[in-house]
Every structure is written in C-alpha cells, then in structure tokens.
Amino acid sequence: MATELNRVERQTPPDDEMVSIFVMGKEYRVPDALTIMKAIEYAGYHFIRGCGCRGGACGACATVYRTADNYRIKVGLACQTLIEPGMHVTQIPFYPANKAIYDVSEAEPTVEEVLKHYPEIARCLCCEVCTRACPQDLEVMYYIQAALRGDVKEVSRLSFECIMCGLCVSRCPAELMHYNVAILCRRLYARYGMKRAEHLANRVREIEEGKFDEELDELVRMDEKDLVRAYESRDFEEA
C-alpha cells in the first residue's frame, strides 16, 4: 500500500509544471497539459455523470469555461479540451430539455409537424449564441432557421454531427431545445426524404431467407483457435 502511494507521489510533476484551475469556483493545482476531464479527476472528483466515451463522440462531458482575462463564455468537451492556467470550468452533464414523443411513421416532413412538437422555435431571435456554443462547430442557428421553414433536408445536413451535448440549449435566450428539434428533422428526412437503399433491402431479405445461416452456424461451432485463424485469414475488401 505504502509503495503504491510512494509511486503516486513520485509521479507528481515538479511545481513549475503545475497550474491552477478553478472547478466550480474552487481552486486546484493540477499538472499542466491535462484535459479538463483528467484535471477534474486529478483534483479528486469521481464522475458518475458527465463522462462517457472519453473520445469526443458521446457528448456527455459538455463543459462551459472561461479563460483568464477573457470575458467570453467558452464551451467544449471536457475529454477533448486542454486546460489553461487560471481557467474556470463547470460541467453541464445535462441541461433540462423536454423531448417530444411522436411516431415518425405517422408524422409528415413539414414545417407544421416541426412546429406541432416544438412551436417555440418561432421565438428564435437569430442571436447566434447557440452557434457560438457548439463544440462541434455546427451552424446551430442556421439549422433552427431551416427547421422554421420546414427544410428538414437542410436541418439534417447542418446538424448531422450533433452529439446532443446540450450546450446550445443552455445558452439560448429563446429557450429552444435545438438538438431535439434537429433529431426530429433528421428522422423526418430519413423517413420521407431519403431514397431507400436498395442493397440494404436486398440484404435484409437474404438474411431473412436464411442465406447466411449455414456460415453462422459454422462459426458458432468453431473452437477458439479456429475462430482466431478464421479471423486472421478473413477477406479484406479493397479500399
């Protein structure tokens, strides 16, 4: 136990490699060059929420921060953003947002449909604060504007990389729930606007007709060694 502790102590960087950051207003000395997420953990916090993939893809670790001598509110994903000396960070794992319940197969890809579930989008002031808040650099204001004219295709295009972190929601003076609007539009577009993929339908039919059952059964019967060999000698499709 003692040796473990000693090892940790020896790993602590020299003081000139430590910086001060403020987590929810309280100062901590943490090693420079950490991500916000690691710095918060270093400071002793244990994540129950606000952490997921640690790879910038899940949107769980939304964080707002300010850097020293700059009035602007900045935002980022805690797992992707490096700390800066003197920064203030606060995590926002979830910002309240209601989710409309609908059956896409009974919906229509129209502005009326979007407004039925999220009528408040008409309150958008075009302040662009949402766009500035988006860690994915999406043009959030423009996708809300596209939703407002029922252009679900454009909403899909502009919001495709939304990770539903909710930072836009936390900043909007019109109190919109952007990402929920976006996902409604993407669903409508996927259901009514996009062409059905023929190859996918064919493949589903083949699976249902049992075309691959035999191969699968064979895999199930293999022992581990054969399985590894089969995996290593599998066909690669040309890139």
Q: Tell me which residues touch ligand FES (CB under 6 A).
A: 51-54, 56-61, 77-79
- Give the single-character DSSP code of 14: P
Q: Using CB distances below 5 to 8 A depending on partner kind, what does residue 52 bind out of ligand SF4, ligand FES, another protein, none?
A: ligand FES
How big is the site for ligand SF4, counted in residues (CB under 6 A)?
Answer: 28
- 26-31 and 74-77: which strand pairing? unpaired
> Does the footprint of another protein cover residue 148 (CB under 8 A)?
yes
Among 65, 118, 142, 179, binds another protein (CB under 8 A): 142
**HSE-CB of 5 using CA atoms within 13 angstroms:** 2
Instruction: State the number of binding residues for another protein (CB under 8 A).
Output: 14
Nearest to 111 by CA among 181, 175, 191: 181
Answer left, alpha or beta for residue 32, where phi above 0 means left and psi between -120 and 50 means alpha. beta
Closest separation between CB of residue 144 and another protein, Å? 9
Residue whose C-alpha is closest to residue 95's, from 186, 181, 179: 179
| Strand boundaries in the chain, DSSP class E | 18-23, 26-31, 62-66, 74-77, 88-91
Residue 60 binding: pick among ligand SF4, another protein, ligand FES, none (C-beta 5-8 Å cut-off by kind): ligand FES
Asked if 172 interacts with ligand SF4 (CB under 6 A), we say yes
Q: Shortest gap between Cβ of 48 and ligand SF4 (angstroms)?
A: 21
Longest dimension (CA), the chain: 67
Spatial contact of 193 and 152, defined as CB atoms under 8 Å apart: yes
* Region binding ligand SF4 by CB under 6 A among candidate stretches 47-55, 98-106, 111-119, 176-184: 176-184
Contact between 188 and another protein per CB under 8 A:
no
Q: Which partner, ligand SF4, another protein, ligand FES, none, binds residue 51 by CB below 5 to 8 Å per kind?
A: ligand FES
Residues ≥6 apart with Cβ < 8 Å to 130 = 140, 141, 144, 168, 171, 172, 176, 178
The H or E element containing residue 183 is: helix 178-188
User: Based on C-alpha coordinates, what's the Rg of the chain?
Assistant: 24
Window of 19-27, 107-115, 167-175, 202-210 that interacts with ligand SF4 by CB under 6 A: 167-175
Q: Which is nearer to another protein, 155 or 164 (CB)?
A: 155
- What single-letter amino acid sits at 61? C
Q: Is 80 in the site for ligand SF4 (CB under 6 A)?
A: no
Indicate which of ligand SF4, another protein, ligand FES, none lies near residue 133 (CB less than 5 to 8 Å, by partner kind). Answer: ligand SF4
Which one of ligand SF4, another protein, ligand FES, none is in contact with 79 (Cβ closer than 5 to 8 A by kind)? ligand FES
Give least dist CB 150 to ligand SF4, A: 16
Instruction: List residues near another protein by CB under 8 A.
Output: 111, 124-128, 141-142, 145, 148-151, 173
